[in-house]
A and B are shown apart, each in its own frame.
Chain A
């Protein structure tokens, strides 16, 4: 979770290889909102979505979740393993630990739990955004985002 504590909370279910998620992410960075990110990797459409989600969680174990989250969305064309190691190095992570962590069952379970929780909440596509108990599926209308931010 990041953003000012007083701001409205939006929960984003996203996939690091999904271009619409990246577009949403760019917009969210400009808005005064509090954002929680949950994983919803869609394996068959995005073969690198799971490895990327694992990388973000592994970076999170070293306190750098959001930095990795941003680095992944900022360059979706480079999500292969060497690119992930490269990001880890640039973020100053212990790369060997990062690489071991990202393969663990615990991290897999964490991502799968996000995915399941998303399914049960009605997520069917990415991105899906929740704000004030309302579900916004797919690329959100810019007006919806502006309204959320301005009211927040």
Chain B
């Protein structure tokens, strides 16, 4: 299984959010970056989300909204977000577990998301994607900015 590729439409999916569900329809009309990460509270995920969160203004300037996605329960994600002191909204693929991750091609055989990034355009089509060589590798945010700037040309 490999991460969904650029040019493909985002699959139908449903993820838990604080006030309901986040689905394919929520992607329409704006640019979205889904940040798939293996586990809330693990050290690499903490570092990754902290760095990305500190770049929120830069992402906003590029017209892109970031969401963190993991298979953790919503309550765990809320605790994680609170502890990190970050603003990036968290989406939960807990029930049915891993189904959205599977649809995006990022479900690790161990039952958690690969560390992957999926950039989706306002038309719901994938513009760029990236899967880390291993779940422990932290993708630099420069990869995202390079991708966003390539789209802008």
Contact = CB atoms under 8 A, between A and B. Distances in A.
A42 B142 contact: no
Contacts of A115: 54
B85 A119 contact: no
Q: Main secondary structure on chain B at its contact with chain A?
A: helix
B28 interface: no
A120 B47 CA distance: 17
Interface string A51-91: 00000000000000000000000000000000000000000
Interface stretch (B89-97, B98-106, B133-141): B133-141
A30 B74 CA distance: 48
Interface string A90-130: 00000000000000000000000001100111111100000
A123 B47 CA distance: 12
Given A43-B85, A44-B53, A115-B54, A125 B47 contact: yes
Contacts of A121: 142
A42 B138 CA distance: 13
A6 interface: no
Contact of B140 (A43, A45, A116, A122): A122
Interface string B102-126: 0000000000000000000000000
B86 interface: yes
B43 A44 contact: no
Interface residues of B, number: 21
B150 to A, nearest CB: 14
Given A45-B43, A115-B54, A116-B58, A125 B138 contact: yes
A119 B50 contact: no
A94 to B, nearest CB: 30
Interface residues of A, number: 13
Nearest to A126: B47
B142 A120 contact: yes
B71 interface: no
A119 B47 contact: no
29 contacts: A42-B47, A42-B51, A43-B50, A43-B53, A44-B47, A44-B49, A44-B50, A44-B53, A44-B83, A44-B84, A44-B85, A45-B43, A45-B46, A45-B47, A115-B54, A119-B51, A119-B140, A119-B141, A119-B142, A119-B145, A120-B142, A120-B145, A121-B142, A123-B140, A124-B48, A124-B138, A124-B141, A124-B142, A125-B138
